Amino acid sequence: MHPHKFALWLFIVSILMIFASMTSAFIVKQGDGSWLDYNLPSMFWFTTAVIITSSGLLQWGYFAAKQDQLKKLKILLAFTIVLGLVFLVGQWYSWVQLVSMDVFFVGNPGGSFIYVLTGLHAFHLISGILFLIIVLISALKNKVHSKNLVRIEMCATYWHFLGALWVYLLVFLVFYH
């Protein structure tokens, strides 16, 4: 295994541990009682569709790189970045929806947890967008192609992980909310 890929997998495992501990803490704290009851923001469904679509576009870009379709690769990377930014804006609007439902970061752990979980995911998504930008710059310099796929493979792995993590968080919140 390429040493950079190994380091990426260690990073992914550490992120998994953070979210596993956060969701465990959510369940334990919810059992204490006095949990704030509110509806999940409807924006979550939109952002879920956005991140799944972006993951598909990036995978398509990876296949384009494997076939040396470099123009298609660059376009798909750019669209993936745009959809990543759309996801972040959507998450911001989900927070706006939470505030309009009188759910705040402070006051009740039920509200605090949703901000922490989504904010922590958004932070990691920003790092994914930066990774995508680095890969796009490499692609623009024709350094990503069928004989040099490590960067895009790593980026796709991380991006797909972030998408799967978001879907997990949404399912978790739907069932434990």
Query: Which tens digit of pLDDT belongs to each residue from 59-81?
Result: 999 999 999 999 999 999 999 99
Tell me if residue 145 falls in helix, strand or coil: strand
* 92-130 tens-digit pLDDT: 999 999 999 999 999 889 899 999 999 999 999 999 999
Q: Could you give the CA distance from residue 168 to residue 144 in angstroms, rounded to a whole number?
A: 31
Which CATH number is 120's domain given? 1.20.120.80
Q: How many domains does the chain have?
A: 1
140 — pLDDT class (breaks 50, 70, 90): very high
Residue 11 domain flag = no
Mean pLDDT of 148-164: 98
Give residue 66's domain range: 42-176
Mean pLDDT of 36-56: 96
Mean pLDDT of 6-34: 95
Tell me if residue 148 falls in helix, strand or coil: strand
Residue 50 domain flag = yes
Mean pLDDT of 135-150: 97
Residue 145 pairs with which residues in a beta bridge?
148
Residue 15 domain flag = no
Task: Locate 117 and state its tokens.
Answer: 């979980």
Residue 25 domain flag = no
pLDDT at 34: 80
Tell me if residue 61 falls in helix, strand or coil: helix
Residue 2 domain flag = no
Residue 21 domain flag = no
Residue 88 domain flag = yes
Residue 1 above 90 pLDDT? no
Q: Could you give the CA distance from residue 90 to residue 72 in angstroms, rounded to a whole number?
A: 26
Residue 67 domain flag = yes
